[in-house]
Structure 1
């Protein structure tokens, strides 16, 4: 099981949740119908591309970016704005890609 710990995400993210998220980059209709689930919390899928997924649940937003070998997952809430989270996540993702990850 992959574990992801941070404030606002008290439980571990399951292997199945990560697998579905990764699959969602290729087949976004999976996320459109059932949302993005992380640590048992189901977020409403907002939009995505083959590299980025955006979702939200109440005041908490999710911004994910796929690199060659990793998926960067970010949770944010007020006062952080979606554009701020996107900028940080995508810069980190681009850096990882430039390093071969």
Structure 2
């Protein structure tokens, strides 16, 4: 399965994710959904925040040109929100999954889908 297939079939195809990207830890985007223009700089800042989330408390989480309010996270997961849109990011061994969802999708649905793919990629060595 290609990286784009993971985006199209596993994430967007689940109907639990509105837009998504998969990128390497270095910020290079491997695949993304149409219209989701997450930048290398945003990915690099996201990766840095996974190691030290205090910057998210002060500055929020920036993805696709949008500032999200940081809700919670740890060294592998970031949860954030802006109005009726949510953000769920999952770090794997080599990649990061960046996924947004819109109302009426519930945060738990998006989390389950994104983290499920993250777990699978970790099992595959990614």
* TM-score normalised per structure 1: 0.90
2:80 maps to 55
1:68 maps to 93
Q: Which 5+ residue runs of structure 1 have no aligned equivalent?
A: none
Distance 1:77 1:4 in 2: 20
Distance 2:49 2:101 in 1: 20
Q: Deviations over 1:12-62 (max 9, x none)?
A: 212111100001110000111101111211111111011100001110000
- Aligned-partner SS, 1:50: coil
2:12 maps to none
Give every structure 1 segment of 4 or more consecutive aligned residues whose post-TM-superposition deviation is greater than 2 Å: 1-7
Size of the aligned set, in residue pairs, is: 99
Q: Comparing both chains, which one has the higher relative contact order based on Cα–Cα distances under 8 Å and sequence gaps of 6 or more?
A: 2
2:70 maps to 45
